[in-house]
């Protein structure tokens, strides 16, 4: 497995009231998978993405990336892991408003230590790939929601991560823009071998996924591999 949750439970304590967001969840992804994490609001999708992305820690259980248990890493090592191996597409985009599309895409590569020439070449390549050639100098507030989401995808893939975690990537998009974005991510998966895990309740995303893992009340209730179903 490239990334794996093993018997993971997450409990939040809000003013003495405990909420069990995840309850003994186990989920493993093989390299190159294109998987949807489906379920209603409050089912635990975003919580699981945050745990797999080392943005939060489980109350119990283990998270492993390429066989390395995340709880054994120092905060510095975790930051380096996120920087080098993971890409994130957030529902709210999380673009830096004072930076242009190109600068947003280059940001992670700059943290990784790539030269200005390398960053410029790679950002131009990925922005063209997501259909934003000519808009490199636009800032987020000068772009539509669909364009901002594509900048977020470009930023996520620019550093060539092993895994991309996307939280409701089509939630703020019209159906045509969502379809184009899904096709782009499917192309990246096919051609570059990028592993994708989406949280979603969008039927279009579930149709595009090759595997659907369904959550309800913090538990996995179904794990459907479409290739095996169709075999």
Tell me the DSSP string of 116-150: HHHHHHHHHHHHHHTT-TT-TT--GGGS-HHHHHH
Each residue of 113-126: pLDDT tens digit?
Answer: 999 999 999 999 98
Task: Give the CA count within 13 Å in the CB-facing half-sphere of 161.
Answer: 28
- Structural domains present in the chain: 3-230 (3.40.50.300)
Has residue 185 got a pLDDT over 80? yes
CA dihedral 136, 140, 141, 145 (to 10 degrees): 110
Return the pLDDT at 229: 56
Span 7-33, average pLDDT: 94
Q: How confident is the model at residue 231 (pLDDT cuts 50, 70, 90)?
A: very low
Each residue of 119-173: pLDDT tens digit?
Answer: 999 999 989 988 899 999 999 999 988 889 889 989 998 888 989 999 988 877 7
**Block residue for tokens 């895409």:** 105
- Give the residue, 35 or 185, on which the prediction is more confident: 35
Has residue 91 got a pLDDT over 90? no
Hey, which bits of the chain come out as E strands? 3-14, 17-29, 34-38, 60-65, 68-69, 86-89, 163-167, 195-200, 211-216, 219-225
| Euclidean distance between CA atoms 147 and 130, whole angstroms | 9
| Euclidean distance between CA atoms 129 and 120, whole angstroms | 14
Tell me the pTM: 0.89
Tokens (6 digits) for 227: 């290739």
What is the maximum span of the chain, computed from C-alpha positions, in angstroms?
52
Identify the weakest region by mean pLDDT among 1-10, 87-96, 131-140: 87-96
Span 88-108, average pLDDT: 92
Mean pLDDT of the chain: 91
Beta bridge partners of 64: 4, 69
| Euclidean distance between CA atoms 109 and 40, whole angstroms | 35
Has residue 10 got a pLDDT over 70? yes
Each residue of 193-230: pLDDT tens digit?
Answer: 889 999 998 899 999 999 999 999 999 999 999 776 55
């Amino acid at each position: 497995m490239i990334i794996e949750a093993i018997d993971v439970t997450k409990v939040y304590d809000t003013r003495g009231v405990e909420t069990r967001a995840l309850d003994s969840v186990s989920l493993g992804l093989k390299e190159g998978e294109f998987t949807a994490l489906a379920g209603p609001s409050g089912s635990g999708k975003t919580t699981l993405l945050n745990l797999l992305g080392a943005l939060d820690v489980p109350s119990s259980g283990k998270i492993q990336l390429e066989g390395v248990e995340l709880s054994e890493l120092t905060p510095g090592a975790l930051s380096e892991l996120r920087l080098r191996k993971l890409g994130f597409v957030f529902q709210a985009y999380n673009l830096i408003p004072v930076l242009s599309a190109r600068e947003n895409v280059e940001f992670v590569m700059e943290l990784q230590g790539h030269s200005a020439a390398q960053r410029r070449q790679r950002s131009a390549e990925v922005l063209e790939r997501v259909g934003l050639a000519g808009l490199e100098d636009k800032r987020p507030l000068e772009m539509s929601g669909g364009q901002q989401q594509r900048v977020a995808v470009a930023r996520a893939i620019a550093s060539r991560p092993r895994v991309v975690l996307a939280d409701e990537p089509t939630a703020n998009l019209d159906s045509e823009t969502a379809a184009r974005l899904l096709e782009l991510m499917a192309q990246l998966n096919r051609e570059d071998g990028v592993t994708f895990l989406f949280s979603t309740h969008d039927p279009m995303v579930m149709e595009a996924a090759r595997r659907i893992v369904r959550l309800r009340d913090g538990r996995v209730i179904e794990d459907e591999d479409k290739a095996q179903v169709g075999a």
